[in-house]
Structure 1
Amino acid sequence: MKLIQLTDIHLTTPGQTIGGRDSNANFDRALAHALDHHPDAEAVIITGDLSDWGEKADYEHLSQRIAALPLPVYLCIGNHDDRPAFLSVFPELADEDGHVQRVVPLSAGDAFLIDTWGPDSHAGHYDAQRLAWLDKRLAAATRPVYLFMHHNPAPTHIAPMDRIMLLDADAFGDVVAAHRDKVAHIFHGHCHLPLAGSFRGIPTSSPRGTNHAGWANFAESKLLSASDLPESYAVIFADEGSVTVQMVEFGYTGDVRVEGSPDYADWDRQTMAR
């Protein structure tokens, strides 16, 4: 199974930029790059911050853009989003409780798309109602589960970022840990950083994002840090024995060089590029 994960696309009013970057154009570039290089992907999953200011026009633009794509696109919402505005454009994506949550069958398992949005907050939230939804569906799952969400459940150890992580991580962790044998991987966004680790024994990962980039400034205690690193998305490969996640920096404009052969017999000082 091959999936494309885009995150933190931050669509905004045409002509406006974020960190000097055109997020709408970068979203289009990410889609074009992914479809050109990975036409065999079975789906695109976008893990939140679909809009920069949670405006209905951004969701209308997103709806029109993904409708024209040759493969399905599945959506999570993040802290920059507005759930009521989002659902006014995508009403079919509400669960029975009004959250943006669903289970999507994939070739190698099921994608669980969960809703960590909370009003008037950049932090993530996952209340008792949502926990019950997740617990019920994990209990019923008979195939590997690939869990997609916006907010990071594990700390980054960057103080200002961890103030806006998933605040209900302990309760969320109790639910996923109870079904740890079923959950193959947790994919998130939010941090604008390439991250890999684990949460309650479950592997986690996140790419940088399709527009503005963060920076791991461990000395900063109050403000989030930004950088000019390239825009990116993730390519996910999964089968019954493994999950591999590659961060593709489609915003990189430098050279890609041939350095030599992977065959050991061909390694010598004359032929290896150094």
Structure 2
Amino acid sequence: MKLLQLTDIHLTTPGDTIAGRDPNANFERALAHALDRHADAEALFITGDLSDWGEAADYARLRETIASLPLPVHLCIGNHDDRATFVSVFPELEGEGGFVQKVVPLSLGHAIVLDTWGPETHAGHFCEGRAGWLYRQLQSLPGPVWLFLHHNPVALGVPPMDEIMLLDAARFAATVEPFADKVRHIFHGHCHLPLSGSLHGIPFSAPRGTNHQGWPDFSATRMLSGSDLPESYSVIFATPTTTMVHMVEFGYSGEIRVENTPDYADWDKQTMVR
């Protein structure tokens, strides 16, 4: 099974930029790059911050864009989004309790899209209602299960970022812990950083976003840090026993060198490119 993950696309009014980059153009570039090289992916997940200001016009353009794609697209909402506005454009995605959550059948198990949005905050939330819904899905679904959400459920060790992580992380952890043998991987965004780790033995990962990027300043006490690192997305390969996640830096414009063959006999000082 092959899946694609884009995150933090931050669509804006056409012509507006973020950190000197055009998020609309970079979203289009990410889609073109991913679909040109991974046309066999069975689904694309976009893990939040779909719009930079939660505006209906951004969601309308997103809806038009993904309607023309040759694979299913599944959307999470993030802290820059607005749930009511999003649902006004994507009414079919409003789930139980008004949350943007759903189960997605895949060729290998199921994905679950989670809603960690909260009003007037950049931090993530996972209330008892959302936790109860997730628990029931995990209880009833056969494995493997793949979870997609916006906010990071584990602290980074970067104080300003940790202020806006999933604040109900303990509730989320307690919900997934009984199903650690069933939940294969957790995919999130929000941090604009390449991240990996585990929660109760469940691996998680995040790529950088498709537009502007973060920087892990571990000495920061108040302000978030940004960088000019390349725009990225993830390619996910899965088999019944393995999971591999690549972060593809489609924004990299440098040289891609051919260095040598993988054959051991070819590796010597005369032929190796150094």
Which bracket does the TM-score occupy, shorter chain normalised?
A: over 0.9
Q: Does the residue aligned with 1:186 lie in a helix, a strand or coil?
A: strand
2:219 counterpart residue number: 219
Q: Percent identity?
A: 66
Structure 2 counterpart of 1:11, which letter? L
State the alpha-carbon separation in 2 of the partners of residues 136 and 198 from structure 1. Answer: 22
1:248 counterpart residue number: 248
| Counterpart mapping for 1:20-31 below 5 A | 20-31=20-31
Q: Does the residue aligned with 1:131 lie in a helix, a strand or coil?
A: helix
| Counterpart mapping for 1:167-178 below 5 A | 167-178=167-178
Deviations 1:219-238 (A, max 9, x none): 11110000000000000001
Deviations 1:117-144 (A, max 9, x none): 0000100000000000000000001130
| Counterpart mapping for 1:79-98 below 5 A | 79-98=79-98
State the alpha-carbon separation in 2 of the partners of residues 176 and 217 from structure 1. Answer: 30
Q: Does the residue aligned with 1:97 lie in a helix, a strand or coil?
A: helix
1:77 counterpart residue number: 77
Moved >3 Å (runs of 4+): none
CA contact 2:109–2:143 (8 Å) conserved in 1: yes
Structure 1 counterpart of 2:237, which letter? F
State the alpha-carbon separation in 2 of the partners of residues 224 and 166 from structure 1. Answer: 16
Structure 2 segments unaligned to the other structure (5+ residues): none
1:57 matched to 2:57? The reply is yes
CA contact 2:144–2:184 (8 Å) conserved in 1: yes
Q: Give the superposition deviation at 1:260.
A: 1.1
State the alpha-carbon separation in 2 of the partners of residues 126 and 134 from structure 1. Answer: 10
State the alpha-carbon separation in 1 of the partners of residues 259 and 104 from structure 2. Answer: 41
Deviations 1:149-198 (A, max 9, x none): 00000111111000000000001100100111110000000000000111
Aligned CA RMSD, in angstroms, stands at 0.5
State the alpha-carbon separation in 2 of the partners of residues 125 and 147 from structure 1. Answer: 16
Structure 1 counterpart of 2:64, which letter? Q
Structure 1 segments unaligned to the other structure (5+ residues): none
Q: Does the residue aligned with 1:111 lie in a helix, a strand or coil?
A: strand
Q: Give the superposition deviation at 1:262.
A: 1.2
CA contact 2:143–2:183 (8 Å) conserved in 1: no
State the alpha-carbon separation in 1 of the partners of residues 261 and 9 from structure 2. Answer: 37
2:12 counterpart residue number: 12
1:228 matched to 2:233? The reply is no
State the alpha-carbon separation in 2 of the partners of residues 62 and 107 from structure 1. Answer: 26
Q: Give the superposition deviation at 1:77.
A: 0.3
Report the TM-score when normalising by structure 2: 0.99
State the alpha-carbon separation in 1 of the partners of residues 219 and 179 from structure 2. Answer: 36
State the alpha-carbon separation in 2 of the partners of residues 240 and 75 from structure 1. Answer: 25
Deviations 1:33-68 (A, max 9, x none): 000011111111000000000001000000000001
Aligned length: 274
